[in-house]
Amino acid sequence: MNVDFEALHRDGFVVLGGVVPGAMCARFETDLEIIGRAGLNHRGRSQREPDAIADLLRLGGAYRQALFSNLKHLRVVQEMGHHVVSTLETAGVLDWLGYEALVAYPTIRADVPGEDTYLLPMHQDYATPCRRAFRVWATLRPAGATSGSLLVVPGSHLRGLIAHDTSDPARPFVPDSAYDSSGTRLLELEAGDGILFDPLLVHGSVPAQNARMKYNLLVNLWDLTTLADPDDPEDPIAGRVRMRHVRDTVRG
């Protein structure tokens, strides 16, 4: 894999083709089918959605939280994360980052069709606790306007921290006036493709218009020597993390 570091610096992101192998995407799908069928059978429910996992997540409550939390720890998800980091290392990305103490771990984002509670408006990442950080966002199903994807604003990271509108604490967002919407790009990607991006890049969710779940792998890359100080009320990165905690508390 060749990474255009000049474009990464200029645009705040680069596309990574096939960063998650197709075989791993297929194993993830198989695991989801098995988990979905088992969960519905246990509750004596029939499948109504194209994805049985969606039926289970719509049950809500503590079960939903437990299911989603543990999806992140599937063995195949951990293997995806290791593969992504290894690929980035081979491509010279880790050397380019030059982190002194690298934190690298994967997690999963799953969007249920028709739900907007957890969709993200245009924002800069709230959940990044380090001043030096990058993330990989990879789609585990084809991504686009119909299937759901990500909007990005190339070059917006160069503005640094942008004040978010927190009038609705459940949905902090970057106001339209803070960026040039004419330059916004909708990512059209195949399963296994992704982007490496700066957390200061303005970006937001594109909900799926069909009845299928949307799954993304996120791999966080942080330099722990630049960890924000939550005891410092003037630390802007810690302030972002506090904004995220408020958001999560309000929206449940």
Is 87 a residue whose pLDDT tops 90? yes
pLDDT (average), residues 60-72: 91
Interatomic CA distance for residues 27 and 215, integer angstroms? 13
Is 252 a residue whose pLDDT tops 80? no
Q: Answer yes or no: is 239 within a domain.
A: yes
Other CB atoms within a 10 A radius of the CB of residue 212 amount to: 18
Q: Answer yes or no: is 32 within a domain.
A: no
Counted domains in the chain: 1
Helix (H) or strand (E) holding 85: helix 75-90
Other CB atoms within a 10 A radius of the CB of residue 199 amount to: 23
State percent of the chain over pLDDT 90. 87
Bridge-based pairing state of the strands 13-16 and 149-152: unpaired
Q: Answer yes or no: is 43 within a domain.
A: no
Q: Answer yes or no: is 186 within a domain.
A: yes
Other CB atoms within a 10 A radius of the CB of residue 170 amount to: 14
State percent of the chain over pLDDT 70. 100
Q: Answer yes or no: is 145 within a domain.
A: yes
User: pLDDT per residue over 97-106, tens digit each?
Assistant: 999 999 999 9
pTM: 0.94
User: pLDDT per residue over 192-240, tens digit each?
Assistant: 999 999 999 999 999 989 999 999 999 999 999 999 999 999 999 999 9
Interatomic CA distance for residues 185 and 149, integer angstroms? 11
Do residues 230 and 241 lie in contact, with contact meaning Cβ atoms separated by under 8 Å? yes
Give the range of the structural domain holding residue 190, as residue numbers without chain letter.
Answer: 5-21+75-251
Would you state the pLDDT for residue 107? 96
pLDDT (average), residues 170-192: 94
Would you state the pLDDT for residue 47? 94
Q: Answer yes or no: is 233 within a domain.
A: yes
Would you state the pLDDT for residue 119? 86
48 pLDDT band, cuts 50/70/90, is very high
Q: Answer yes or no: is 147 within a domain.
A: yes
CATH of the domain at 221: 2.60.120.620
Name 143's bridge partners. 189
Question: For residue 144, with 0-12 CB atoms within 10 Å meaning exposed, 13-18 middle and 19 or more buried, which class applies?
Answer: middle
User: pLDDT per residue over 97-154, tens digit each?
Assistant: 999 999 999 999 999 998 888 889 999 999 899 999 999 999 999 999 999 999 999 9
Q: Answer yes or no: is 189 within a domain.
A: yes
